[in-house]
Structure 1
């Protein structure tokens, strides 16, 4: 039986004590983008502008039982892709775009089918959505159906809603130059917070403000990346595990005077993970957080990990590019994809997105099954 929303545990927060005259002098620092913009803003959704509260500290995340609702889904998608809707593939293997469906109005059966569709297509863009206009509490209630909300340890969030991870760049030309000062490209493939013991699964990102052109997000299909490998290499990868680390992210935030809401962790996950609904195997490594392969010497780990990361990044034939537009919600399965923002606009337009990040099961792998040899 699937747990009810009320049964899904949430992260524990240490609530600051009530203000006293002495406490007021030591009030935690709160950085607010709205104040940095002079108290007024051109943002379409000012209540979604980032804040960083240095007084918010969270206990370590505890294990929880995750239930993937895709297991309950009707594969006909009759409650999701209803009459008048339209679905179109972005590429043959990866990604779809849907119109004529309002996610916030879905029944539980429709949400189950959403989880299945996203697991199958890896990333799905839904146009003309009302997510950004909902009360934030309602958006979070919708996302909570898919798992426990993850609270990011370092990112900005709307004030009072740490469960929302914000992507925000008010992109002046100098910011673009500074961003690329030490690199040739903005592409940075990663899967979100894979250093957690139970990384995210079905993930939601919705547009608040976007440039007219530019700022797309690219996705890579980690199932297809695994499928392209030779049988001999697939077999060798099974049983290997890698370290995923959040330490560097926390240190980078602290070095810039940012927040660290929770002590950073490292986790060991299989290089090949199995999706609990589709049964597909996927590479589970990414450039953002995967540091080394357990049991291999440094040179061996670097060589194998370097090959896998290069294989993922150059696989344009199993990647998809999603173009943002107002009222777009992009849903992806973080277990079987990696993604990268594309920082390519210099017009000064704001790029402001909000992410709801339900956690899923701890990554697991199923035994390697030898492939049939092709007949001569």
Structure 2
């Protein structure tokens, strides 16, 4: 189904109308709207970010004491939580959630009643909400990123021309201040397939040799939105902002945990600053292969909250000939990525914590 196009006046009307996105996705398919003028969106402004996870309880008691069931899905990434509704979190629970997701990378909450307006309020608790430069969105909801794919999706040509290993990414890492805690609510899922794979960028760093870790620390890489801009131009969609790329550290430090994480991926990272093209391409391909082959620090899930700073993710398009998949995402922005040379790896922090408990 071809996307609808609306006027700039409609697109900039941020009065949320209580849309039922689950119903829209089921009945209308790809119901997105697009602006007809670039001026409908301003450039993103820099801001100071202080992660609320810094206020979290190390025991995360407000989460653990109120969940009916909670368990780690794999040793390195993913925790599943039952019995808590994201629509009803207290401020203390949001602090503890921010700390828990910083540590575990991905949280899965089952049987959620949260609607899109509540999702926006949830997202605002963690930072200014991102509006995508090229993608459409529901009428009146520019901050909502819709996930809708079926057998007729215009993106299918690109998906058919690439391998699944090329689609690992951190969302919009080309922004100066990329996202942090991110909410994805699925409303329509195929009977089989349509999962998302996540990989821990903490563990990805830990799995590198000490010599490679030392080499990468302090390097910077270019992250580019050019492919998404080219796709928008090909589909005659307005590109809302001029910003195309940012330079971020190859190894970044999480502001809450203080742990080191690998921060390059094949979707948006195009080169390493200061290296020749030959050297940059070789190092990046090595790191991309390292991520895609890291089966011991990956997890495959449906329905989740994740930290875009310390996880890579990869939607699995194995369902396009089976049934549609629909959901929506709310994406708060956070700090500009940085590297603290005094930060620790997660492996080192875990080792020190175990030693402290034995004393």
TM-score, scaled relative to structure 2: 0.85
Deviation at 1:339, TM superposition (A): 0.5
Does residue 52 (structure 1) correspond to residue 34 (structure 2)? The answer is yes
| Residue pairs, 1:194-209, within 5 angstroms | 194-209=173-188
Q: Measure the CA separation in 1 of the matches of 2:265 and 2:163.
A: 19
Q: Deviations over 1:202-234 (max 9, x none)?
A: 111111111011110000101100001111111
SS at match of 1:234: helix
Q: Deviations over 1:76-106 (max 9, x none)?
A: 2221233452112111111111111111111
Q: Measure the CA separation in 1 of the matches of 2:343 and 2:179.
A: 27
Deviation at 1:305, TM superposition (A): 1.0
Paired residues in the alignment total: 329
Deviation at 1:178, TM superposition (A): 4.6
Q: Which residue of 1 aligns with 2:127?
A: 147
Q: Which has the larger radius of gyration?
A: 1
Q: Which residue of 2 aligns with 1:314?
A: 293
Q: Deviations over 1:265-288 (max 9, x none)?
A: 211111000000101100010111
Q: Deviations over 1:109-163 (max 9, x none)?
A: 00011111111110111001012xx3x3332111100001000011121111000
Residues 8, 35 of structure 2: 8 Å contact kept: no
C-alpha change, 1:51 and 1:107, in structure 2 (3 Å) is same
Q: Which residue of 2 aligns with 1:78?
A: 61
Q: Deviations over 1:37-71 (max 9, x none)?
A: xxxx8834769932223236312111001110000
Does residue 341 (structure 1) correspond to residue 319 (structure 2)? The answer is no
Q: Deviations over 1:172-217 (max 9, x none)?
A: 5x98975554235476101000100000011111111110111100
Q: Which residue of 2 aligns with 1:159?
A: 139
C-alpha change, 1:72 and 1:310, in structure 2 (3 Å) is same
Deviation at 1:254, TM superposition (A): 0.8
Q: Measure the CA separation in 1 of the matches of 2:121 and 2:107.
A: 20
C-alpha change, 1:178 and 1:81, in structure 2 (3 Å) is same
Q: Which residue of 2 aligns with 1:65?
A: 48
Q: Measure the CA separation in 2 of the matches of 1:176 and 1:245.
A: 19
Q: Which residue of 1 aligns with 2:224?
A: 245
Q: Measure the CA separation in 2 of the matches of 1:63 and 1:122.
A: 25
Unmatched segments (≥5 aa) in structure 1:
1-14, 19-26, 29-40
TM-score, scaled relative to structure 1: 0.81
Deviation at 1:16, TM superposition (A): 4.7
**What is the RMSD computed on CA atoms of the aligned residues?**
2.7
C-alpha change, 1:139 and 1:83, in structure 2 (3 Å) is closer
Q: Which residue of 1 aligns with 2:110?
A: 127
Q: Which residue of 2 aligns with 1:350?
A: 324
Deviation at 1:248, TM superposition (A): 2.4
User: Which segment drifts farther, 52-61 or 268-277?
Assistant: 52-61
Out of 151, 170, 183, the residue aligned to residue 150 of structure 2 is: 170
Residues 81, 101 of structure 1: 8 Å contact kept: no
Deviating above 3 A after TM superposition, structure 1's stretches of 4 or more consecutive aligned residues are 15-18, 41-49, 174-181, 183-187, 368-372
Unmatched segments (≥5 aa) in structure 2:
1-6, 13-22, 349-359
